[in-house]
Amino acid sequence: MQSTDPLKILVTGATGSFGKTFVKTLLSEFPKATILAFSRDELKQFEMRAEFNSTRLDFMLGDVRDFGRVSQATSGVDIIIHAAAMKQIPAAEQNPMEAIKTNILGAENIVNAALLNNVDRVIALSTDKAANPANLYGATKLCSDKLMIAGNYLSTEKRTKFSVVRYGNVLGSRGSVIPFFNEMKLKGSIPITDPRMTRFWLTLERGVDLVLTGLKTMHGGEIFVPKIPSFKVTDVARVVAPGTPTHVIGIRPGEKLHEVMITEDDSIYTVEFENHYAILSPQLLKISSSGKNSKMVPEGFSYRSDTNSWWHTDETFKTVLSEINLV
């Protein structure tokens, strides 16, 4: 895929943190591409239109729950980046059918519309919460992942390919723990759910890079997982708010002590590359693992934030926060 290709790219959830960063990157790196930003928030679209001010960026109001509108949006589109989702864990627990409609039925609509309109490639954004899910949000995203991968079986007589990108906590995104810790710092104490808790951490820009890598290398059926550093949540609090006391409030319902992005059960289908892993569908294993610079991971391998071999130090974490203007 060349950056000069005259592509039409649809981004669902385009007014969210990832969506805006991804659209900005597309406008910069794909000078002939037109981008369609699809979301249901008219105010955010209005603000984004003024901020980007590009003739190559169009907007469409709509909801991924509405198949008719999704079908209209995907007409003539070459690539879909599906970033729309209901993401707040407590909101999903309290409004389960709303999460199911958006995250599961919305994904189904994307798959069916992409097949109907012969879209070339589809990449959906996932989450670590989808691996061995402990809450409804994770369960709906696991279903979404399965729907996307299964789309490849439905497209046997069509050209459409479907893949997924899975990653953990995004620094600088809306709802990120960093602004929350800064707010709590002003109140004199930072709540910590469990002092043992670890998380993977990546920037929005790294997430965008992984999606672009997926678009260039996908055969269809992969779940791409980036290699990223871990850091304890207590260490994050210490770096963000040095000297501020913490207090333990206990793990919330549906919250995990450590993040898992690749389970042991997935190890027999997982290929390692230099900067990422790819969990492959069994039917595509031989095709996708035959490329250069890749190898199968050992059976029983898992990718967890507590056993990760790559860890942030205080200094490297400070550097990342400084680069994205969070300190």
Note whether residue 42 is domain-resident. yes
Task: State yes or no: pLDDT of 287 exceeds 80.
Answer: no
Domain membership flag for residue 196:
no
Non-local CB neighbours of 157 within 8 Å, separated by 6+ positions: none
Alpha-carbon Rg of the chain, whole angstroms? 20
Percent of the chain whose predicted confidence (pLDDT) is above 90: 82
| pLDDT, tens digit, 9 for 90 and up, residues 17-73 | 999 999 999 999 999 999 999 999 999 999 999 999 999 999 999 999 999 999 999
**Structural domain contains residue 219:** yes
Instruction: Quote the mean pLDDT of the chain.
Output: 92
154 against 82, higher pLDDT: 82
Q: DSSP 3-state helix, strand, coil percentages of the chain (rounded to 5)?
A: 40, 20, 35
Mean pLDDT of 215-244: 94
Tell whether the model's pLDDT for residue 293 goes beyond 90: no
Which domain range does residue 99 map to? 8-168+204-227+260-308
Tell me whether residue 327 is in a domain.
no
Asked if the structure places residue 100 within a domain, the reply is yes
pLDDT for residue 2 is more than 60: no
Specify if 186 maps to a domain.
no
CA–CA dist 23, 30 (Å, integer): 10
Q: How confident is the model at residue 155 (pLDDT cuts 50, 70, 90)?
A: confident
Does residue 102 belong to any structural domain of this protein?
Answer: yes
Single-letter amino acid, residue 119: V
Q: Just list the catalytic residues.
A: 129
What pLDDT digit, counting tens, does each position of 82-123 carry?
A: 999 999 998 999 999 999 999 999 999 999 999 999 999 999
Domain count, the chain: 1
Amino acid 290: pLDDT: 47
CATH number for position 73: 3.40.50.720
Dmax (CA) for the chain in angstroms is 61
Look at residue 297 and tell me if it is in a domain. yes
